[in-house]
Amino acid sequence: MDAKGKVILVTGSTDGVGRRVAQCLAEQGAHILIHGRDPHRGRQLLEQVEAGGRGSAVFLPADFSSLAEVRRLAQMVRQQCDHLDVLINNAGIGSGGSAAKREISQDGYELRFAVNYLAGFLLTRLLLGLLTRGKGARIVNVSSLGQQAIDFDDVMLIRSYTGGRAYAQSKLAQIMFTFDLAREFDPATVTANCLHPATYMATTMVRQSGVTPLSTVEQGAEAILNLAVSSQLDRHSGEFYNGLSPSRANPQAYDDGARERLRMLSMKLTGLA
């Protein structure tokens, strides 16, 4: 793996596996665009990267429950760099546990669908100009083995909400978006892959869900880094990984009609249509 000199945006990189990924990439000499909601944690990571003396970083705050904030983040990224080598869409929220109640984003959408999927969809679309300026850029969407087919008659889960279903639906949407991107671009220019990094990592998200961790953030980070910068995956695109191994997603991810419906809905909800 070689990230030296690469410009890499890691969303959700002030905590958990995203933080570890950002640290590893900086240690390899990358320039990291750190994203998160907490300015204090962002500054801490920024100082750590600078103290390491190998990579460099800048902190760009944004709340992914607001599409306006996502647009502002994209603008900040464009101001910071003239190209982007890797985009790692890692930011997200968990199921909230068995007692989770339905919440809505600042734009009025079901919160997990908005934060875990729509924010990354919009950000990626807004940054494609930076990603396509060179050759061999990569998009990595951090998804999950927890997937549930989207009910297009109740995408916002107004009638049948559970936190687990909301989370699983948002994660499948990420995978469907990944497969669409892979078909859209020549892999010599941009590749798009997604993964389940590790099962129940020791993260804030997992602990808040009331689950006992089964794996480490280091394991998850290794899998994400593999898709982000491994030379063995040059020109590999449209793949779903379970950790370090290629895998299969929910059948709906391979349904062209379902992906088209999701794409059109997403364009409308994000104001890109």
Written as one string, the DSSP assignment of 12-79 is T-SSHHHHHHHHHHHHTT-EEEEEES-HHHHHHHHHHHHHHSSSEEEEEE--TT-HHHHHHHHHHHHH
251 in helix, strand or coil?
Answer: helix
Q: Which residue is catalytic, options 167, 200, 241, 254? A: 167
Clarify whether 161 is annotated catalytic: no
* Longest alpha-carbon distance in the chain: 52
Q: What's the token pair of residue 183?
A: 């078909």
The runs of H, that is alpha helices, within the chain are: 16-27, 39-52, 67-80, 111-112, 119-131, 163-184, 204-208, 217-229, 256-269
Q: How far is CA 25 from CA 42, 116, 160, 221, 223, in A?
A: 16, 23, 41, 10, 13
Q: Which amino acids are annotated catalytic? A: 167
